[in-house]
Structures are given as structure tokens and as C-alpha cells.
Structure 1
Amino acid sequence: MFVCFQPIKAAPPGKKYVRCPCNCLLICRDRAVKIACPRQNCGRIVNLSGGFPSVTVRSPGSIRASCVHCQQIFIFDVSTRALARCPHCRNLSAVGTNYAKNRGHVCLILGLLFIGAGVGVTVGTLELAEQNGGIYVVWTGKI
């Protein structure tokens, strides 16, 4: 028995249908040159520039990232870097949760260091503050 995997109706104006080798029917602009399969377990990139679509498989560490500046989607390898340069607008965007997590850890450590320094200055000058009331001005830094 032969099963036909053709679309039921024609593509909307300005769009076209492309079939991925994983049997996913993709819709894209009629001027599109490359299109990535959105399926999680597929991840193939279909090249539409020739007569018929050719397929390349993207690397396992790459994801589809969206630029925060121009909202265009591009493919980026998150296993190598956390900051991605958008190929459309050339701006940098943070991709993935590792960048935010690492930056949060750095801010937490710096905050704890500053709190420790403040407590150290306060405890270190406590006897001086009991004898001289002017040391409170030094604590606030308004000399």
C-alpha cells in the first residue's frame, strides 16, 4: 500500500512547503535558502538553494536561538560559548542559562565580599566610635 505525504491544500501566498527527511512538513518563505527542522530529535538543516532540498545534520550541542534585538532565529552552538553574535544584526545576545547562572554567582560572591568588608570596618572601628563620635562620618564616606 502506497501512502502519499503531500499537503492537503496549496501553501499560502509567499510561502512554500518543504518535507524534512524525518517526514516533518515544514512551511517557509518562498525566498528561503535554508530552513531548520523544529523537531527536538531531528535538528536537520534543509538547504533549498539547489533544485531539490539537500540536508545537513547540525551538531549535537547546537540550538535554535532567537536574537533579543531583531527577533530573528539562528543556529548557535552553546557548548562552546555563552554569548552569541546574531548573523542578521551582528549584536551579542546571551544564550542559555549558564551565562546568567555564572553571572549571578559572581554577583553573589562580590556582594558577600562587600558585606564582609563593611562588617569588618564597623567592628574594627567600634571602640573608636564609642570614644569619638566623628568616626560615624568616616563610615558613611562623606568627608
Structure 2
Amino acid sequence: MAEETTPLVRSSQNADNSDSYGGRSVTDYFGDGTVLGADEVPPPYDHSTTGRPMVTCRVCQTMIDISGKMEQHVVKCAKCSEATPIKNAPAGKKYVRCPCNCLLICKSRSQRVACPRSSCKRIVNLSPPPVNPNTPTAPGMCRVTCAHCSMIFLFNTLTNALARCPNCRKVSSVGREYARCKTLIFLTLSVLMLIICAVVVFTTMSYTNAGHPAVYLIYIVLFLVLAFLLYRTIYYCSMKVSLIDGPL
């Protein structure tokens, strides 16, 4: 595994297929005044020239053949030896290209990043994502940090529902109150259903001795409902909680 202090593509003396990725996330340094722009995203594939999947190098604009490299995250340009991403960054990460053209990967919430390239060692600030003033807002809309992948997404806290992260597609509770409330509701229902099951079993015990099959069917239905309620109780009790980052 590549160290976090190495660039996404190593120096030119390494083999051309050593397209490992790393990078360095820095949040406790002071920048040198340089501000990086938008995060780098993979370029679109081009099949029109040779019939094989190709991408354009982000540094020298040379076409790179990525046949047989579709499982990699980045590829190395044979002309300039710099890296170009061909897949989105892993969950909770983002690509950033240093002014020296070194492609780095860092946490999606990082505000500063240090270039590990020995000839650069630049520490630069990352510009925040632009805010579109024309974006319509709704009451209760706020930014939420996903408990699974740490990505920020928008969620309306007035909707009494779970939040599904658009990045990792996993579900979480926005704030602890919703999960706690649901846990108490299903726990109460579970206790009530357990009492009902005990009462039914106790009052129909004589029918089981007589061999009535309908009694066993009632038992099965009641215990299935009890198992479902207990499952939902454990589900909400163990659910991860996404924190509100701030209003929109």
C-alpha cells in the first residue's frame, strides 16, 4: 500500500504500471497563500479515435489508452509522467492537483494540503466549494455530514425520515433524537407484544394439549411480529448518527 506521503503516481524511474495512489491530508499547517480551485474529476472517456477507451491527460492533453486499466483509480501519462484520474475518488476523499501538477488525494473536508513531492513541498489552501445564490432553499434545509463516508449533503430536517447519503447510499439518522425516539417506540411495542404473547400462550395452553392446529398458527404469527419489533428496536438503537453541519 502506498504511503500517505507519496504522490498518486511515483517518479519516472518507477515502472509505467505503478499507478498506485496516496496523498497527504493536512489540516494543521499554514498555507503559503496559494489557493487551489475546484476538485479534479475524472475526464470523460473517448472511444471515437481508436475504438479503445481513452482519456485526455489533465497536464499535457495527450490521449492515454486505459485498456486493461479500468480497475485502477488513476493512470500515468507516458509523455509527462503525471497522473490523471479515471475513477471517482474513494468515499470521503477527493482529488487535488498541486500547482506542480502532482495529483494528490485527501479527505473531502480538508482545508489545506501539502505536496509530498520533494521538489515542491508546497502547502496550499483549498478553496471552499462555490455557493450558488440561485439555489432554492426550503425551510429546515441544512448541511449534514454523513456518518458513514463523512461527505456533506443537503437534508430537510423537517421531514420525519431517515437520511440517505447520495454519495455512499447508506442510511443514517440526522441527529440523535430521531433514532432515540424510534428506538423507544419499537422497544415499547416489543414489550407490549411480549406480554400479549405470554398471555395468549398461557390462556391457550389447554388447546395445545387438545391438538388444535390453529393455536400453533397464532403462536407463529405472534412470535414473528415480536421478532420484527425486536429487530427494528436493535436497528434504530445501533444506527449511526449523521451530524448537522449547519444551515444552508
Q: TM-score range by the shorter chain?
A: 0.3 to 0.5
With the length of structure 1 as denominator, give the TM-score of the two structures: 0.45
TM-score of the pair, normalised by structure 2: 0.29
